[in-house]
Every structure is written in structure tokens, then in C-alpha cells.
Amino acid sequence: MITSGLVNLYTRDIEAGVRFYRDLLGLRETFRTPREGTPEHVELAAGGFTLGLGAVEAAKRVHGVDATPGAPAMAVVFWTDDVDAEFARLVAAGVPAVREPHDAGNDNRNAQVRDPDGNLVELVSKVR
């Protein structure tokens, strides 16, 4: 029986990924290996969600996985209290915008940006 899980994104620049998800989006770092030097794997959490970042080189060496960051058809989705403010803050910090905040139905307001590897990151809040 599965007891927990996480989404693992492979990255070419794990430190840039950590800065994006931890420093810009505010996820809390919960695990890092190795602890000293440049990490090969970092886990970050928000609420009950855990996101792992794995170095492309480590994926190949440890798991035999040829990872291509940003290529999968997927999005990492984060809920926020104010999509417009969060989107503006991220774009002002230099994060690439994909789609500006818009009403998306079901009383949701969405926006999309890209992380440092080009993965789609979707921000969602309820329409006020």
C-alpha cells in the first residue's frame, strides 16, 4: 500500500531550482543530499505537498534515467491566496511568464510561469 509520495523534477541546475521553489515560491526545504556542497537531490514542502528536485547527472548515474528537464507534458500546480499578486512578484523577480492571470472557470483564477528548467508552474486561487 502506498503511504506517501512526491513529484520529482529533474533539473540541469539544482541550485537555481532550489532558489525558485524555496526562495521565490516559499516552499520549505525538508531534505538535501549530500548535505555539504552542491546537492544531487532536494525535497521541498508546502502544506501536504512535497516536491523533489533531482540533478540530471544523478538521475543517470543512480537510476539509469535519461532525464530531459522541461520536456514532459505536465505542470506543477500551487494554490495561493492572490494569483495576481504572486504572478506580479515572480515576474518582477525575473521569472518567465507564460500566461498572465485570468479567470479559468470553477471560480478559479490561474496564471502560468516557467521554472529555471522550463517546467510549467501554474498558480491558482479562488476568484474573490
In the block, which residue shows the cell 521565490?
A: 24
Whether pTM exceeds 0.85: no
Query: pLDDT-derived band of residue 3, with 50, 70 and 90 as boundaries?
Result: low
Give the three-class secondary structure for 83: helix
Q: Cβ distance 43 to 30 under 8 Å?
A: yes
Delineate the domains of the chain, giving CATH numbers in brackets: 7-126 (3.10.180.10)
Query: pLDDT-derived band of residue 73, with 50, 70 and 90 as boundaries?
Result: low
How is residue 17 written as a grid cell?
531550482
How is residue 45 written as a grid cell?
514542502
Q: For residue range 12-29, what is the model confidence (pLDDT) as tens digits?
A: 999 999 999 999 999 999
Neighbour tally for 7: CB within 10 Å: 12
Please give the pLDDT value at position 104: 85
Q: Regarding predicted confidence, which is higher, 105 or 109?
A: 109
Query: How far is CA 99 from its chain centroid?
Result: 16
pLDDT surpasses 80 at 38: yes
